[in-house]
Amino acid sequence: MNLLATRSVQQKLLAVVLLATLVAVLVAVAAMVAYDLRLYHRSWIADLTTQAELLGRTSAPALTFNDARVAKENLDLLRYRPKMRAAAIYNAKGKLFATFVNNADRELPALPEADGIRIEGDNLIVFKRIVADREILGTVYLQAEYELYDRLLSYLGIAGLVTLAAMLVAYFLSLPLRRVVTRPLLAIAKVAREITEKRNFALRAQKLSQDEIGLLADSFNAMLAEIERATRELEALNRESAREVSVRRRAEEEILRLNTELEQRVRERTAQLEYTNGELEAFCYSVSHDLRAPLRAIDGFSQALVEDCSKELSEEALGYLTRVRSSTERMAQLIEDLLNLSRVSRGELAQQEVDVADLAKRVVADLRHREPKRDIEISIWDGMQAHADARLVRAALENLIGNAWKFTSKAAHPRIEIGALRDGKHSTFFVRDNGAGFDMAYSNKLFGAFQRLHSVNEYQGTGIGLATVQRIVHRHGGRIWADAHPGKGAVFFFTLEPGEAAPAVPRVAEVAS
Amino acid sequence: MVALIKHVVLLIAALLAAESALGQGERGLETQIKAAFLYKFGGFVEWPAGAFARADSTFSIGVLGADGVAAELERLVAGRTVHGRAIAVQKLKRGEPLAGLHLLFIGQPEASRLPEILSAAKGQALLIVTETEDALARGSMINFITVDDKVRFDVALPPAERGQLRISSRLLAVARKVITG
């Protein structure tokens, strides 16, 4: 069977057909041979027995009347039966009475034996008593050919030929039959091979028969359909995900491009702005600077007029001059402030550890020195530190404390407080007063240059101070904001370091309490 | 020497005695054979139904002029049958009636009386066996002859047919000669 396992279905079928034929023919031949040999054996024995009986009957009178000649004549008739080899008749006393030998020298038994049939080699031997009227007259002896083995041999030869012929016939007859069986199978196998080689699941096996192989073809096709469907779905899914990936990649590329573009644009715009800003500041600075010279001339000559020609000038003219000088002073202040604003915008930050409280105290000392008559309560918290440019921080404090000083001038009990709220590492500094305050509705205008919430007549100022402070704070990366209430005061908060988590914005009320 | 002669004489005497015994024996054998044949003829011959008075009537064999044969026959048939019938052997004397006989053997001494016997048995189914040359020509049915020291017999069918006897062909097959008429 192992030998068969590697063979094709055709060859297996052939083997089955030939084997079946062989077995059938051998069994049939064996049965026939057995039947024939048995028949031969029996009929031959029956024949010989009958022959012996017949000889006995015909020879009975010869024995009775002791006529050996007649007995011999009877025996001689056997020469017409070539298969009889020898015969003899014994008389009642067991003596040879008559003999017959066909063709060859044959030994005849000296004495008769009891009735019986036996086979000696290729001889069948029969002894038969001759009985008449219950009297034994003698015995017939017959020796005949017994060809069982010869027959068997010739039958085996015939069986071989028949088997060979049957096998040949079976072989040629099975050719179309095998094709009938194997063609559908081979068709399926061919399709399967093609599918394996080309991975083409659209192929279908042809259904050539309505039997189990047809069923196989159907099942195979159903399986193929399923595989094809699954493959198609998988491919569609692959395509879809590939498409999604490419879409996403394109989107990412787009985003990247836009970002780059944006950054580029921002850089360009920034550069542009910085350039414009620089131009503007340079312009502003040079204008301010250049304005000072004629202003100083106006002031100087106005002063000279007042000092040298006061006698020649009327009171009215002197009053006008005074107003000219006041205006020039204000203009000088304005120019100074503008220059300050320009200055804080330019130059490198020289950051270091700064004692903010100390700076505040110096600013307050300056203010008290300038206006010694002001009765004002100023409290400065201790231990306020910052990592900042000391010169700029001082400028910011000058502006903020100066404002507080200025807007508390009309308060009954003026008070200024400078402190810091610490939240972890970050400090939020504040400058609080109980002065005029302002309406929060205008807080958006608070830090713009030249923006004033109070009239010049009410409070002096150029409207540049808070813009300067905001510029300073921004240069440090910090934030500045305010809270105020008209008539109740204002509080300005600022930080001097970048920090997204700005401390909770303290309200005026909280700080004031 | 005397002893030797004595021996030789004794030997010769013994040989002579043996010769004599043999001759006597041969004659005895012939009688025996003829008796046996007579008995066996019965089995090969059919008698008409009327030949036997009853179903169990005996088969009667008459012997005339052959006492040796008769004696032998009597010894032989003891307990034997012919056609299922017991066998009775009658030693006949000259002139004795033949009625009831089925087989009659006429010995050589009585051969001359054959015509007389034939006429006496006329109409009777009687198988007549003789041992005399040319007896068949004179009406005998079976006649013994000796050929090569063997007892053989000839058969004449016409007298048997006249006597309503049917002789089996198997018997005829072993007869030396059959006269058919």
Please report the pLDDT score of residue B128 as a whole number. Answer: 92
Indicate the residue type of B177.
K
Instruction: Give the 3-state secondary structure of residue B88.
Output: strand
* Cβ neighbour number for residue A45 with a 10 Å cutoff: 16
Q: Can you read off the two tokens belonging to residue A74?
A: 């009877």
What single-letter amino acid sits at A35? Y
Which residues of chain B make contact with A61, given a CB cutoff of 8 A? 44, 168, 170-171, 173-174
Note whether B33 contacts A67, CB cutoff 8 Å.
no
The DSSP call for residue A67 is: -
Which has the closest alpha carbon to A234: A193, A201, A203?
A201
How far does the CA of residue A48 sit from the closest CA of chain B (Å)? 22
* Token pair of A82 as six digits: 């070539």
User: What is the Cα–Cα distance from A336 to A346, expressed in whole angstroms?
Assistant: 15
Kind of pairing, strands A84-91 and A135-145?
antiparallel
Question: How much of chain B is in helix, strand and coil states, percent to nearest 5?
Answer: 45, 25, 30
223-282 of A, contacting B, C-beta below 8 A: none
Q: How confident is the model at residue B26 (pLDDT cuts 50, 70, 90)?
A: low
**Cβ contact, residue pair A61, B80, below 8 Å:** no
Give dist(CA A63, CA A391) in Å, integer: 178
Residue A74 to chain B, least CA–CA distance (Å): 10
CB pairs under 8 A between A and B: 31
pLDDT of A246 reads: 92
Cα separation, A425 vs A346, in Å, equals 28
Q: How far is CA A209 from the centre of its chain?
A: 43
pLDDT in tens, B95-118: 888 888 999 999 988 888 888 888
CA distance A68 to chain B (A): 9
Pair of tokens at residue A253: 């590329």
For A269, the 3-state DSSP assignment is helix
- The span from the CA of A436 to the CA of A448, in Å, is 19
Query: pTM for the complete prediction?
Result: 0.50
pLDDT at A57: 87
Structure tokens at A111: 């004495």
Q: Compute the distance between CA of residue A511 and CA of residue A481 in angstroms, rounded to an integer.
A: 14
The tokens describing A289, both together, are 């600077």
Q: Are A436 and A410 contacting, i.e. CB atoms less than 8 angstroms apart? A: yes
Q: What DSSP designation does B137 have?
A: G
What are the residues facing B152 on neighbouring strands? Answer: B145
Residue of B nearest to A137 (CA): B40
| Residue A60 with chain B: CB contacts under 8 Å | 170
Do residues A82 and A154 touch, judged by C-beta distance below 8 A?
A: no
Q: What is the helix (H) or strand (E) element at residue A56, kind and residue range?
A: helix A9-64
Asked if residues A434 and A396 have their Cβ atoms less than 8 Å apart, the reply is no
For residue B127, what pLDDT is reported?
A: 93
- CA A122 to chain B, closest CA, distance in angstroms equals 35
Q: Where are the beta strands (DSSP E) in A359-400?
A: 377-380, 385-389
Question: Which residues of chain A, if any, have pLDDT below 50?
Answer: 1, 501, 507-513
- B22 pLDDT exceeds 50? no
Distance from CA of B59 to the nearest CA of A (A): 15
- Strand bridging mode B142-147 / A426-433: unpaired
Is the model's pLDDT at B66 over the cut of 50?
yes
How far is Cα A238 from Cα A245, in angstroms, rounded to an integer?
10
How far does CA A202 lie from the centroid of its chain? Answer: 26
> Does residue B90 contact residue B62 with C-beta atoms inside 8 Å?
yes
| CB < 8 Å from B in window 45-84 of A | 58, 60-62, 64-67, 70
pLDDT score at A510: 44
Q: Where are the alpha helices (DSSP H) in A371-455?
A: 390-407
Collect all residues from B whose CB is shorter than 8 A from any CB in A. Answer: 33, 37, 40, 43-44, 80-81, 150-153, 168, 170-171, 173-174
Q: What's the pLDDT score for residue B15?
A: 53
Contacts of B181 (CB under 8 A, 6+ apart): B157, B158
A64, B80: Cβ pair inside 8 Å? no
CB contact under 8 A, B173 and A66: no
Does the beta-carbon distance from A65 to B153 stay under 8 Å?
Answer: yes
Distance from CA of B65 to the nearest CA of A (A): 22
Q: What is the mean pLDDT of residues B51-75?
A: 90
Residue of chain A whose alpha carbon sits nearest to that of B33: A65
Best mutation target, B174, B176, B177, to test chain A (most A CBs within 10 A): B174
Q: Which of B142, B149, B170 is most worth mutating to test chain A (most A CB atoms within 10 A of its CB)?
A: B170
CB A100 within 8 Å of CB A86: yes
Compute the nearest-CA separation of B171 from chain A (Å).
Answer: 6
CB B85 within 8 A of CB B103: no
Q: Which residues of A touch B150 (CB under 8 A)?
A: 66
Q: Which residues of B touch A65 (CB under 8 A)?
A: 37, 40, 152-153, 171, 174
pLDDT at A2: 60
Nearest CA in chain B to A74: B173
Nearest residue on chain A to B153, judged by CA atoms? A65
Q: Name chain B contacts of A133, Cβ cutoff 8 Å.
A: 43, 80-81
CA distance A4 to A28: 26
Sign (positive or negative) of CA dihedral B31, B75, B156, B148 = negative
CA angle A167, A170, A175 (to 5 degrees): 130
Q: Do A66 and B33 touch (CB under 8 A)?
A: yes
A497 close to B (CB below 8 A): no
- Please tell me which of the candidates A67, A132, A133 has its beta carbon nearest to residue B174: A67
Of B151, B152, B170, the CB nearest to A61: B170
Cβ-nearest to B40 among A58, A64, A70: A64
The label of the residue with tokens 């704070």 reads A473
Q: Say what the alpha-carbon torsion angle A50, A52, A56, A59 is, to the nearest 10 degrees.
A: 110
A218-247, pLDDT tens digit by residue? 888 898 889 889 988 999 999 999 999 999
The complex scores an ipTM of: 0.77
In Å, how far is B175's CA from the nearest CA of chain A? Answer: 9
Is B173 in contact with A70 (Cβ distance < 8 A)?
Answer: yes
- Nearest CB partner across the interface for A61, out of B150, B152, B174: B174
Helical segments of A309-436, H only: 315-345, 356-370, 390-407
Backbone φ and ψ of A105, nearest 5°: -75, 120
| A125: β partners | A118, A143
Closest partner residue to B174 (CB to CB) among A70, A132, A133 is A70
Q: What is the per-residue pLDDT across B123-172, written as a single tens digit (0 to 9) for each? A: 888 999 999 988 888 889 999 999 888 889 999 999 899 888 999 998 99
Select the residue of B33, B44, B174 nearest A62 (Cβ to Cβ): B174
Torsion angle in degrees (nearest 10) through CA of A390, A396, A399, A404 = -100
CA dihedral A413, A418, A422, A426 (to 10 degrees): 140
- Per-residue tokens: A6: 């590697």
Read off the pLDDT of residues A338-392 as tens digits, 9 standing for 90 and up: 787 777 777 778 889 999 999 999 999 999 998 888 888 999 998 888 889 888 8
DSSP annotation string for A436-449: ----GGGGGGTTST
- Cβ(B115)–Cβ(B139) below 8 Å: yes
Instruction: Say which residues have a Cβ less than 8 Å from residue B30's Cβ, sequence separation at least 6.
Output: B146, B151
Which strands make up the sheet holding B177-179, listed edge to edge?
B81-82, B85-92, B59-64, B103-106, B127-130, B142-147, B150-156, B177-179
Residue A418: name the closest of A491, A495, A508 by CA: A491
Q: Both tokens of residue A81?
A: 């039966």
Distance CA A133, CA A200 (A): 101
Quickly tell me which residue has 């007029």 as its tokens. A305
**Which residues on chain B are in Cβ contact (under 8 Å) with A64?**
37, 40, 174
Q: Compare all CA atoms of chain B with the CA of A57 and give the residue at the minimum distance.
A: B170
Q: How far is A159 from chain B (nearest CA, A)?
A: 49
Which chain B residue has the Cα nearest residue A71?
B174
Which of A64, A130, A137 best tests the B interface by mutation, with the highest count of B CBs <10 A? A64
Q: What is the pLDDT of residue A509?
A: 44
